[in-house]
Structure 1
Amino acid sequence: MGKIPPSFRTSTVPVTTLLKNPPAVLPKQSTVLETPQKPHHFPKKRPQPSGKTKKTRTPIEDPKSPVIFNSPNLLDAKKLFASITTTSTTPLDFRFHNALLQSYSSISTVNDSISFLRHMIKSQPSFSPERSTYHILLSQSCKSPNSDLSAVHQTLNLMVTHGFPPDRVTTDIAVRSLCSAGREEHAIELVKELSLKHSPPDSFTYNFIIRHLCKTRALSTVYNFIDELQNSFQLKPDLVTYTILIDNVCNGKESPEATRC
């Protein structure tokens, strides 16, 4: 035991092959050190100076942009309109004229706005006012602090003269403008008047004025107005109308009258 047989003494087989777990053979290390490669660098080209310089564009003013009038004077408004029409290189459509009228009517009186519209029509034959043009004057006349509807009637008569009788859109604009100015009584009066002239309010305008009156008037007054519209003009309340009334009753406004609904 412990002796190597003679047959293995002269064998050329390495001894490590006879072992069960021969040691791992380590790879030969190279004696040559690899130098790290430098990243490629491409030099940036310097811009060559040129004799030409870039010119910055100045913003061009749009001739169709709305003009804000600073003075309610009618003569100043006419002069400004004349300067615009003479310097403009593009034709001015009715939208631009409406924008001018809207701007001027915000600071002027109803009569001056009507005079300014007539001046635009006379000096610009290509300008043909539409219904929306007269609605600008109608909204202004409804918001003016008048004690009656004379200015509103003046605008409505002007519309009829130029072939634009009141329609439901006209009624809606007038009612909303009057209510926004706190002229609810005039809105009620105008609704009755336009209903007689075959221009009754539609359901949207009808419910708008009912909702507005519920906020500013007693519910008994609102009920009387609803009854009058139904009996005199065949304008009946709908589901939205009753919903408005029920909401106001449920919010605690004159709850004893809830049975009226």
Structure 2
Amino acid sequence: MSDKAGVEPAQRPVAQFWDELRLSTQARIGLGRTGDSLPTRRVLEFRSAHAAARDAVHMPLEVDAFVVDVEKAGIGAPVTVTSKASSRAEYLRRPDLGREPEDVSSIVKGDFDIGFVLSDGLSPRALMDHGAAMLEALVTELSDRYSIAPPVVATEARVALGDHIAEAMGVRTVVVLIGERPGLSVADSLGIYLTHLPAPGKSDADRNCISNIHPPEGLGYAQSAKIVAGLVAGARKLGRSGVALKDTSRADVLESSETLTIE
């Protein structure tokens, strides 16, 4: 006779093993089987996760409410910019349009060390869930050492849109907070892309990325902010960001002539 979870007595030790291991990962492991198929519960969980991922991609950013939250960081009134993608459907079909701004004339150019661009990316939900809190952690970590430009909220945005915005802002380092592509385990993961001396035409090799920010399961705000602070300091010392700049805040990495380590 099976128990309430539908597990036969002979299978209970195996089920217990997977139950304990599942506590340390969001991956779909040890799903079990019913005959030649997955249990109905697991099939429904998969469909629910797939629907959540699709919703995270297509849901619009609630710009007005989000701008209010961003302004609480205390670095100025946010400016809103959109890409050349005229709709979410076009944004998904034409990544190139998401990399160029429609108009940046509303951005007042200054002389700042750091600029923050908060972008909806492929998961506006991630930006709404974590963007404002992540920005506050970054400001707390960096504001006593660097001058910071008023933030920019970007919609229908890809990472490279930040280069155009940074040029208009007049910043030496741009930090782009962007919703990452949702997966079947996490639909609200935020990413941070840092580019030193940003300018249109920079490639991904010129950036440093911190991903999987979605506490409590993923990387936390304070820890992410400390990594960014280390990367900013390293980029200013090295004179560039990207593949030559390594984050060693979470691992012991030997220093070489081609890379700069950050303690």
What TM-score range do you get, normalising by the shorter chain?
A: under 0.3
In our comparison, the structure showing a higher alpha carbon Rg is 1
Q: TM-score, normalised by structure 1?
A: 0.23
Tell me the TM-score normalised to structure 2 length: 0.23
**Structure with the bigger percentage of helix:** 1
